[in-house]
Amino acid sequence: MSSAGQKMNCNDYQEAIAADPSESFDGGAEHVSSCQPCSSYRDEIRALNDRIAQALMVDTPELKMPELPPIEVDSNVVNLPFGRLTTPTWIGIAASVAIAVVFGARFLGGDVQELSLADELLAHLDYEPWALQVSTQQVSNYSLNDVLSADVADIGGLGLITYATTCVIHGNLVPHIVLQGEKGPITLLLMPEEMVDGLTPVIGDGIEGVIIPVGNGSIAIIGNRDEMLDKYQQQVIDAVKWTI
Amino acid sequence: MNSGNAHSVRTGRFDRLVGVLHKDMYRYAVWLSRDPSIAEEVVQEALLRAWKSLDALREDEAARQWVITIVRRENARYFERKRLETVDIDNLTPAQAGMMVAGDDSELNELREAIYKLEDDYREPLVLQVLMGHSTREIAAVMGIKPGAVLTRLHRARHKLKAVVEEAES
């Protein structure tokens, strides 16, 4: 939690332990080993945390399983060998440490910062890895229409659509669609309420794309780094009807 | 594998996952919505969504994260559909009031009420960290904020709750 090269002071430690009672942040154990007040404070926070855990464990009702509709079983799905999923472990660890240092330093500043739209999209893709699969199984029209009415966008002609759901991006529910490109899955996020100033690059580990302004909203198209996304961009823009 | 067997395998997998995770789903939903009856509806919808998209979950190890995402989404859909602004914490329904009183431990009940009254921005990361065991980065991804912001909200949430507990003790 301490910035690189700086020892943690009591204020920093007490904020950090209140955020993370497991004390997984850098410099915490070193500080507390020589600071009795912070050691006591840590004990208080951990005791409080135990009580919070107890308080959160509200009684649960018996499981009532809804009636489950029959589903066509998909046997044609394989995981996408994305570069970022095969990144050597040491790079991941190094990246985590770097992120911890950067965000730790910001945390000590105390400001609550929102992610940029591009960062949020990348974080969202990381959080839903199951969406990024190579598949030959088209989602049903029912599922697609449920997520994206043809009045909003008619993307049926874009290609094989293998994932369609609604996600929360910047506080708005938006259609999250995945279609199969030549190099792997391509993610489309249609954000009619999210304005961007101009073409905004989205660059992740092994993936990249762009957020395109469309009317009062925008569309994100993100795919494997080798994918030629240009050919999909105009098709997607043409398919979207919220600009009319 | 014929379609009958495949269906049976799918159903078995779903039942196993739901058996393990449905309590987490409900507790997360109840602390998000702050209403047991809404939470039950949200969980029902989330179970249906999870069933329909089960094939998208390749690794069962990721199932907790997966269902949490679905519950959060269904909760947002519920509130959007119903056009509900917020829960009125000064006029609780019997179900809401019942959620906060469980057992004879008055200090615990007071703490539960204090958590209930926390702003959504503070309550949700706390639930994800303490109840769901999410890391800071996972919470950041769920909530669409930076890890530093997650940590700030968490320490502020605990400071608020600590003040409540200390006031009750004094």
Answer yes or no: is pLDDT of A143 > 50: yes
Parallel, antiparallel, or unpaired for β A185-191 and A217-224? Answer: antiparallel
CA distance A170 to B147: 16
In Å, the largest CA–CA distance within chain B is 67
Mean pLDDT value across residues A208-229: 90
pLDDT digits (tens, 9 = 90+) for B137-166: 889 888 888 899 999 999 999 999 999 999
CA B134 centroid distance within chain: 12
Q: Tell me the Ramachandran region of residue A170: left when phi exceeds 0, alpha when psi lies from -120 to 50, beta otherwise.
A: left
What is the SS3 string spanning chain A? Answer: CCCCCCCCCHHHHHHHHHHCCCCCCCCHHHHHHCCHHHHHHHHHHHHHHHHHHHHHCCCCCCCCCCCCCCCCCCCCEEECCCHHHCCCHHHHHHHHHHHHHHHHHHHHHCCCCECCHHHHHHHHHHHCHHHCEEECCCCCHHHHHHHCCCCCECCHHHCCEEEEEEEEECCEEEEEEEEECCCCEEEEEEECCCCCCCCEEEECCCEEEEEEEECCEEEEEEEECCCCCHHHHHHHHHHECCCC
Name chain B contacts of A139, Cβ cutoff 8 Å: none
Q: What is the mean pLDDT of chain A?
A: 77
How far A70 CA lies from chain B's nearest CA (Å)? 8
Q: Crossing angle, helix B63-82 and helix B36-52, to 10 degrees?
A: 120
Amino acid occupying residue B149:
A
Map out the domains of chain A with their CATH numbers: 1-68 (no CATH), 77-239 (3.40.1000)
A interface test, pick of B52, B65, B79, B166 with most A CB neighbours within 10 Å: B52
Indicate the pairing of strand A133-135 with strand A200-203.
Answer: unpaired
Contact B76 A173 (CB under 8 A): yes
The verdict on domain B1-90 having CATH code 3.70.10.10 is no
Q: Which residues of B touch A165 (CB under 8 A)?
A: 49, 53, 73
The predicted pLDDT at position A76 comes to 52
What's the CA angle centered on B11, arms B62 and A79, to 5 degrees?
Answer: 40
pLDDT at A232 over 70: yes
Of B53, B72, B158, which is closest to A48 when you measure between CB atoms? Answer: B158
Who among B6, B62, B102 is closest to A59 (CB)? B102
Contacts of A60 in chain B (CB under 8 A): 22-23, 26-27
Mean pLDDT is lowest, of A27-36, A144-153, B40-49, for A144-153
Query: Average pLDDT of chain B?
Result: 85
Q: Do domains B1-90 and B101-170 have the same CATH topology?
A: no
Q: What is the pLDDT of residue A240?
A: 82
**Are A15 and B30 an interchain contact pair (Cβ–Cβ within 8 Å)?**
no
Amino acid in position B61: E
Which pLDDT band holds residue A83 (cuts at 50, 70, 90)?
Answer: very low
Mutate to test the interface with A, among B127, B151, B154 (most CBs of A within 10 A): B151
Per-domain boundaries in chain B:
1-90, 101-170
User: How far is C-alpha B16 from the geometric centre of its chain's CA atoms?
Assistant: 20
pLDDT in tens, B49-103: 899 888 778 778 788 888 998 999 899 888 877 765 556 666 667 667 777 666 6
User: What pLDDT does A4 receive?
Assistant: 46
Mutate to test the interface with B, among A79, A97, A107 (most CBs of B within 10 A): A107
pLDDT of A193 above 60: yes
Is the pLDDT assigned to residue B135 strictly greater than 70?
A: yes
Counting other chains too, the contacts that A230-233 makes at CB distance below 8 Å and 24 or more residues apart are: A232/A158, A232/A181, A232/A186
Rounded Cα distance between A164 and B14, Å, is 20
Q: Which residues of B touch A50 (CB under 8 A)?
A: none
Query: Nearest-CA neighbor of B120 among B24, B4, B28?
Result: B28
Query: Which residues from chain A sit within 8 angstroms of residue B31, using beta carbons?
Result: 56, 58
Long-range contacts of A24-32 (CB under 8 A, 24+ apart): A25/A1, A25/A100, A25/A104, A26/A1, A26/A2, A26/A100, A26/A101, A26/A104, A27/A1, A27/A2, A28/A1, A31/A7
Is the domain covering B101-170 a CATH 1.10.10.10 domain?
yes
Q: Which residues of chain B from 87 to 126 reach within 8 Å of chain A, CB to CB?
A: 99, 102, 107-108, 111-112, 115, 126
Residues of chain B found within 8 Å of residue A20, distances taken between Cβ atoms: 136, 151, 154
